[in-house]
Amino acid sequence: MENRIVVMGGRPLNGAVRIPAAKNSVLPLLAASMLCGDVRLRAVPRLSDVAASLALLRGAGCAARWEGEDILVSGTPQNSSLPGQTAEQMRASILFCAPLLAKLGRAETSLPGGCNIGARPIDLHLAGLRQMGAVEWEAGPGRLVLTAPSGLHGAEITLRFPSVGATETLVLAAACARGTTVLRGAAREPEIADLAAFLNRCGAHIQGAGSSTLYIEGRRNLSGCVFSPLPDRIFASTLACAVAAAGGRAELSGCPASLYAPVLEILEQMGCRVEKGGDSVRLSRFGRLYGAGRVFTGVYPALATDAAPLLAAAMLCAEGESSIEDVIFERRFGCAAGFERLGAKVQVNGRTLCIRPGGVLRGTELAAPDLRGGAALVVAALAASGTSVIGHPEHIDRGYAAFTEILSSLGAQIRREERSRNPSAKKTSSKKQNHLAIGTKRWYDTVI
Ligand code: EPZ
């Protein structure tokens, strides 16, 4: 069976959405739970990356299960080898190594997978762990084996680049290491502060999270806790860009504007109306969209690299020129080919996506290239006239739970469908659908 998303574009969005917890906070928190006692994470979105993380926890010998919307993790790891196939599926699997090293003195895994948006090395993770007493062993292609024969000890570490993942790895390694770790050049993303808040609630001693220098005093044992991960600023950015692209008005609650301020500022400059209040944002666009000119991503608090494809989808609908340069990942705009198929006037020059006005967006067949690129194609399809079909939605499922349901609740004509790969079955289904009397034809019976 082939899974796909079908969108009938051209309708404005209207309604209210409560923003779910952030994938990029939940995943490090699940890794951190291996260091702690009984943990309850509240209101976790059902993402495929979350399912993969639970499989890694179980593979390590922890008990991990859903209880309603919450995830419960208990028990300390018994097995230092992570299930390789699962680890290959996502980038965040590397985060599970430091807790295994801390608890068992050994970690074995497959080199992490993740979106094909760039090289995605782990040298910064490994260099910091080596400074804390870890040893890397020859493990064959695609495999990683680390040991800490004398346990992990504190160190003074400076990251040459504020890598989010490397910062998380070293916080996880330092939380229970012997002595104090000073981590300079650390990432300042909100997800780092969320990880520190979680660990501190379990008895860790981490100071400076959110700044570029962290001070971590290792603790032998950590307790458990109940914790609500921070809201997903990229999910909020996605919906904001969808309203900008399709037009209409939405209230996004449960995620303070400050977490995605650069996105909102650019959308406002492009002609959207943005009203901020407490942890809600009301965003509307009823008139023209103007080009944004030259836009750059950067490390937090600059424009998030993950939001770049979503912002680009909104820029396709603008009456002026825009460009986005992603300084973080070298292949961020895999969605450009899909934008072009929709009729947009786009060009990728290295790390920069250039968008010219005048493209008329018409529905067509598309394929999600990666997580944020796939979501960006859905956003662009909402603004296109006619029906689009987006294949490989499994990329989108990694970071967006109930994506089509949420967009549908805002008035989008969008649905998921499974189709047989068997061509004869396809002919039958389209023949059957074409027999519908005119007038009763449903919007999604226009099969491409
Ligand atoms: C995290 O990835 C996020 N993933 C990414 O979100 C996000 O795009 C990225 O941070 C930047 O904000 C998760 O949190 C699970 P990095 P990560 O280490 O940790 C280079 C999404 O769509 N680098 O900050 O992999 C690297 O090549 C995903 O939700 C090294 O050179 O990002 C890249 O150019 C995509 N050596 C830059 O740093 C290293 O050891 C940023 O990577 C590590 C990274």
Rounded to an integer, what distance in angstroms lies between the CA atom of residue 379 and that of residue 444?
17
115 is catalytic: yes
| Range scoring the smallest mean pLDDT among 118-132, 173-187, 308-322, 398-412 | 118-132
Question: Helix 371-383 and helix 233-246: axis angle, to 10°?
Answer: 20
| Range scoring the smallest mean pLDDT among 39-43, 149-153, 309-313 | 149-153
Cβ–Cβ under 8 Å, residues 211 and 235: no
Which of 23, 24, 129, 238 is the pocket-test mutation for ligand 1 (most atoms within 8 Å of CB)? 24
- Tell which wins on pLDDT, 431 or 436: 431
Indicate if ligand 1 lies below 6 Å from the C-beta of 122.
Answer: yes
Judge whether residue 432 has pLDDT over 70: no
- Average pLDDT, integer, range 76-86: 93
Indicate if ligand 1 lies below 6 Å from the C-beta of 92.
Answer: yes
Which among 306, 288, 289, 316 is positioned nearest to 381, based on CA atoms?
316
The one-letter code for the residue type at 135 is V
Predicted TM-score (pTM) of this structure: 0.93
Judge whether residue 431 has pLDDT over 60: no
* Model pLDDT for residues 282-330, shown as the tens digit of each residue: 999 999 999 999 999 999 999 999 999 999 999 999 999 999 999 999 9
The one-letter code for the residue type at 324 is I
Indicate if ligand 1 lies below 6 Å from the C-beta of 329.
Answer: yes
* Model pLDDT for residues 329-340, shown as the tens digit of each residue: 999 999 999 999
Domains, the chain: 2-20+231-447 (3.65.10.10), 23-227 (3.65.10.10)
Separation of 377 CA from ligand 1 center, angstroms? 22
Indicate if ligand 1 lies below 6 Å from the C-beta of 118.
Answer: yes
Taking CA atoms only, the protein residue closest to ligand 1 atom 4 is: 24
Indicate if ligand 1 lies below 6 Å from the C-beta of 373.
Answer: no
Judge whether residue 438 has pLDDT over 70: no
CA of 161, closest atom in ligand 1: 38
Rounded to an integer, what distance in angstroms lies between the CA atom of residue 260 and that of residue 328?
17
Indicate if ligand 1 lies below 6 Å from the C-beta of 91.
Answer: yes
Amino acid 423: pLDDT: 60
Taking CA atoms only, the protein residue closest to ligand 1 atom 18 is: 163
Separation of 288 CA from ligand 1 center, angstroms? 35
Determine which one of 62, 97, 115, 272 is catalytic: 115
Each residue of 316-338: b (16+ CB within 10 Å) or e? bbbebbbbbbbbbbebbbbbbbb
Tell me what percent of the residues of the chain surpass a pLDDT of 70.
94
- Which tokens in the block code for residue 69? 């919307």
Indicate if ligand 1 lies below 6 Å from the C-beta of 238.
Answer: no
Judge whether residue 1 has pLDDT over 80: no
- Average pLDDT, integer, range 224-240: 98
CA of 115, closest atom in ligand 1: 35
Indicate if ligand 1 lies below 6 Å from the C-beta of 154.
Answer: no
Which among 120, 162, 160 is positioned nearest to 300, based on CA atoms?
162
CA of 114, closest atom in ligand 1: 35
Tell me what percent of the residues of the chain surpass a pLDDT of 90.
87
Judge whether residue 446 has pLDDT over 70: no
Which of 163, 167, 234 is the pocket-test mutation for ligand 1 (most atoms within 8 Å of CB)? 163
